């Protein structure tokens, strides 16, 4: 049975295994200092990085200060010497420590905590994933992928077990894609950095690489994942979501040449664009979406068969491009898809 108590802040040990911390830990010799851990938790994130999560470090700190404490208790496990190790809540503990050191008005010496009665490692993984895979402060994609990869390859959890921990539903493909994307960035991109700090934001390119049309196009046109990593390292994809356009680019000889000499943005300028008559330019999203839906519903079998048998045709690639964009906005509007 778990116990809810107020734990002295001084008795709490921040968990360096935390996925927010682990991706940066390799750059530190020895045991990371508390200041370094706080940095890894996001205290000094840029504005763009803070906007990537729904609750930033600074906004969480202000909320805790304004409310005089946390709304949800942290979760800890007992350690040697009367200490406690954080399972979930590293950032809240770090904030309490700062508020206490800065002598901010309030009571910051103790923090409400649920003390787990047993040390079930799989249960700890479940807590972390359920709290941060879709929680108020989700891990950055690279950190999430590193953690999932470790669960699968180091902890030897099966994909079914990880999927169940993540809540089931439509997340199985996401979990698989993240694990493979981390393996790809580790095997093909990190060696190119030559010992320097990697740009974790580029991880999104490797997530896009896992999508069947992109990976199939890469292999079909005689390229490898090592080539792809070189392109990412050379800023060929700018912005990174232009990875989605790789099938169209590689299928067009001129666009491919422009891509290899410049970048994806310039390559896309060479690809024939859809008709840009005044009628289409002035049409609303509702009109265009309705017209496309009607057009697709009324496709003849020969038209559909030609697209199915010719996935590299202009029509098929245009549909793939449209689907990618629609799926992105659909997910933002209605939540995760069933993929």
Return the top range by mean pLDDT from 74-88, 107-121, 206-220, 317-331.
206-220
Tell whether the model's pLDDT for residue 337 goes beyond 50: no
The mean predicted confidence, pLDDT, of the chain is 82
Answer whether residue 302 shows pLDDT above 70.
yes
- Residue 259 neighbours by CB distance under 10 Å: 24
Q: Beta strands of the chain (E only): which ranges?
A: 3-8, 12-13, 74-78, 84-88, 110-116
pLDDT tens digits for range 110-152: 999 999 876 666 667 667 666 655 555 567 788 888 888 888 8
- pLDDT recorded at residue 64: 92
Least confident of 136-145, 208-217, 231-240: 136-145
User: pTM above 0.75?
Assistant: no
* Mean pLDDT of the region 217-228: 96
> Where in the sequence of the chain do the CATH 3.90.1530.10 domains occur?
3-139
- pLDDT given at position 49: 44
Question: What average pLDDT does the segment 214-241 reach?
Answer: 95
pLDDT tens profile 42-92:
665 544 444 444 457 788 888 899 999 998 899 898 888 999 988 888 889
Stated as kind and residue range, the H or E segment containing 128 is helix 121-132
Taking every pair of Cα atoms in the chain, the longest distance, rounded to a whole number of angstroms, is 75
Which pLDDT band, with edges at 50, 70 and 90, does 316 fall under?
A: confident
Topology adopted by domain 3-139: 3.90.1530
CA–CA distance, 74 with 85 (Å, rounded to integer): 11
pLDDT above 80: residue 11: yes
Summarize the confidence of residues 213-236 as an average pLDDT.
95
Strand-by-strand arrangement of the 110-116 sheet: 3-8, 110-116, 74-78, 84-88, 12-13
- The tens digit of pLDDT for each residue in 271-283 reads 755 555 566 777 8
Provide the 3-class DSSP secondary structure of residue 337. coil
- Tell me 32's DSSP state: P
pLDDT > 90: percent of the chain: 35
The token duo for 136 is 């108020």
* Higher-scoring residue by pLDDT: 97, 28: 97
C-alpha 20/C-alpha 180 separation (Å) is 19
249, pLDDT greater than 90? yes
């Amino acid at each position: 049975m778990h116990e809810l108590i107020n734990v002295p802040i001084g008795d709490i040990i921040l968990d360096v295994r935390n996925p927010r911390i682990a991706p940066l830990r390799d750059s530190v010799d020895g045991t990371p200092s508390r200041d370094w851990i706080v940095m890894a938790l996001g205290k000094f994130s840029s504005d763009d990085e803070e906007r990537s999560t729904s609750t930033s470090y600074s906004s969480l700190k202000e909320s805790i200060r304004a409310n005089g404490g946390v709304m949800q208790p942290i979760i800890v496990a007992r350690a040697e010497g009367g200490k406690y190790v954080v399972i979930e809540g590293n950032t809240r503990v770090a904030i309490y420590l700062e508020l206490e050191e800065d002598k901010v008005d309030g009571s910051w010496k103790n923090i409400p905590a649920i003390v787990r009665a047993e040390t079930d490692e799989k249960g700890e993984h479940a807590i972390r994933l359920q709290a941060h895979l879709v929680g108020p402060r989700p891990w950055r994609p690279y950190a999430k992928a590193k953690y999932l990869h470790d669960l699968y390859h180091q902890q030897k959890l099966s994909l079914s077990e990880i999927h169940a921990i993540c809540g089931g539903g439509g997340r199985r493909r996401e979990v698989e894609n993240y694990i493979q994307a981390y393996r790809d960035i580790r095997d093909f991109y990190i060696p190119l950095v030559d010992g320097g700090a990697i740009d974790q934001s580029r991880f999104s390119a490797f997530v896009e690489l896992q999508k069947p049309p992109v990976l199939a196009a890469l292999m079909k046109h005689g390229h490898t994942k090592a080539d792809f990593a070189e392109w990412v390292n050379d800023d060929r994809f700018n912005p990174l979501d232009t990875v989605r356009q790789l099938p169209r680019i590689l299928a067009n000889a001129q666009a491919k040449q422009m891509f290899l000499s410049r970048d994806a943005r310039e390559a896309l300028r060479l690809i024939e664009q859809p008709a840009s008559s005044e009628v289409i330019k002035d049409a609303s999203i509702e009109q265009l979406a309705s017209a496309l839906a009607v057009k697709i519903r009324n496709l003849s079998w020969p038209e559909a068969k030609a697209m199915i048998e010719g996935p590299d045709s202009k029509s098929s690639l245009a549909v793939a491009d449209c689907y990618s964009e629609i799926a992105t906005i659909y997910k933002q509007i209605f939540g995760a898809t069933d993929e």
